[in-house]
Amino acid sequence: MRQRSIIYALFLAIGIILLLSSYIAKASGNLLVGDTSKDLGVVIISLVLVDLLWKLVGGDPLSKEIAELKKYNNLHAVALEGGLEGLILKANDAKTEVDWLEMIKKSQEHIDICGHTLVDIAEKPDWVSALKNRAESGVHIRLILNSPSNPTLPNGINPDIPNLPKMMEDMKFSWNKFTELQNSLPVDKQSNLSVVQIKTDILFINIRRFDEKLYLLHYLYSTLNEYCPVFIFEGHQKQLFKLYLDEFNKIYSHNL
C-alpha cells in the first residue's frame, strides 16, 4: 500500500509539473509545447485519480463489466449456434408460460410429441380436437408414448416417487384416445397422424415440437417431471434442434 502511495505521489507530481510547464511555455509564447504539456499533465493526473477511485470502490468496475459482457457474449454465441432460445426453470411453469393449445392450432407442417403418458393432451377434448383439425389440414403429426407393458419402465421411474401404477393407467387411456382419434380421421388423412408405443426402450426425454420450435424436458430420476427444466429451441437446422429431433426420429422409427 505504501509503495502504491509513493507511485500516486510521483505521478501527481509529474502531472503538476507538466501543468506548470504548460503555463510557463504559453507565457513565453510557445503554444505548441504549452498545449502538449497541459494535455499530458491532465491525462496523468486523471489516470491517478481514476485508479484511486477504483481502488476505493473495491476494484475496476469497468473490467468487471467487460468480463461479464464477454461471458454473456460467449454464452449468447453458443446459444445462437445451437438454436437455444429460452429456458423455463420448472416444467410446471410452462403451463402458464406456453399456450400449448395455441401452439397446436398454429402448426402448419409438423407436430412431434413424445412423453411417458401424454395424458395431459389426451384428457383435454379441445386439444384432441385441435390435433384432429391439424391432421385434416395436412399437418404431419407423430405421437410417442410409453407402453404400460414395457419391461424397462420400472427402471426409469424412481421407486421413491410411487406414481408408476397411475402412469400405466394414463398410458392405456392416452393410447386408446389417440388410436380412436386416428381412426376418426377421413381415410385419406389418417396417414397424417401416427401414434406409437415404446415397447422395450427407456425414454429419457419429453419433446414437443411445433414446426420450427421445440420444447425439451429431460426426465430426471431424482424429482417429479413438473420440477424439471424445459429448454426451448428454434430452427430445425440449428445444431441442438437437429440433435433432439434426430433422437425423436430414432425412437419413433425403432418402435413402429
Question: How far apart (Å, rounded) are the C-alpha atoms in residues 170 and 175?
Answer: 8
Above pLDDT 70, what percent of the chain? 84
Please give the pLDDT value at position 254: 93
Question: How far apart (Å, rounded) are the C-alpha atoms in residues 169 and 145?
Answer: 12
Give mean pLDDT, residues 83-88.
Answer: 91
Q: Which 8-state DSSP code applies to residue 113?
A: E
Task: Render pLDDT for 88-116 as a digit per residue (tens, 0 to 9).
Answer: 999 999 989 999 999 999 999 999 999 99
- Rounded (10°) angle between helices 125-136 and 164-184: 40
Question: How far apart (Å, rounded) are the C-alpha atoms in residues 85 and 79?
Answer: 7
Question: How far apart (Å, rounded) are the C-alpha atoms in residues 210 and 50?
Answer: 54
Please give the pLDDT value at position 127: 98
Q: Specify the range with the lowest mean pLDDT, choosing from 17-21, 33-37, 72-76, 212-216.
A: 33-37
Please give the pLDDT value at position 39: 75
CB–CB of 221/161 below 8 Å? no
Question: How far apart (Å, rounded) are the C-alpha atoms in residues 16 and 58?
Answer: 27
Amino acid at 141: I
Question: How far apart (Å, rounded) are the C-alpha atoms in residues 113 and 159?
Answer: 26
Using the structure block, give the residue that is written with the C-alpha cell 461471458.
71
Classify the phi-psi angles of 14: left when phi > 0, otherwise alpha if psi is within -120 to 50, otherwise beta: alpha
Quick one: which of 92, 101, 28, 60 has its CA closest to 230? Answer: 92
Angstrom CA distances, 21 to 9, 46, 109, stand at 18, 17, 77
- Rounded (10°) angle between helices 31-56 and 2-27: 160
Question: How far apart (Å, rounded) are the C-alpha atoms in residues 129 and 14?
Answer: 82
CB–CB of 168/156 below 8 Å? no
Beta-strand ranges (E) seen in 99-226 are 110-115, 140-146, 193-198, 205-210, 213-218
Quick one: which of 205, 220, 203, 209 has its CA closest to 142? Answer: 209
Task: Render pLDDT for 157-214 as a digit per residue (tens, 0 to 9).
Answer: 887 777 889 999 999 999 999 999 999 999 999 999 999 999 999 999 999 999 999 9
The SS3 call for residue 28 is coil
Please give the pLDDT value at position 243: 96
CA dihedral of residues 155, 158, 164, 167 (deg, nearest 10): -90
Amino acid at 136: E
User: Has residue 57 got a pLDDT over 60?
Assistant: no
pTM, two decimals, is 0.73
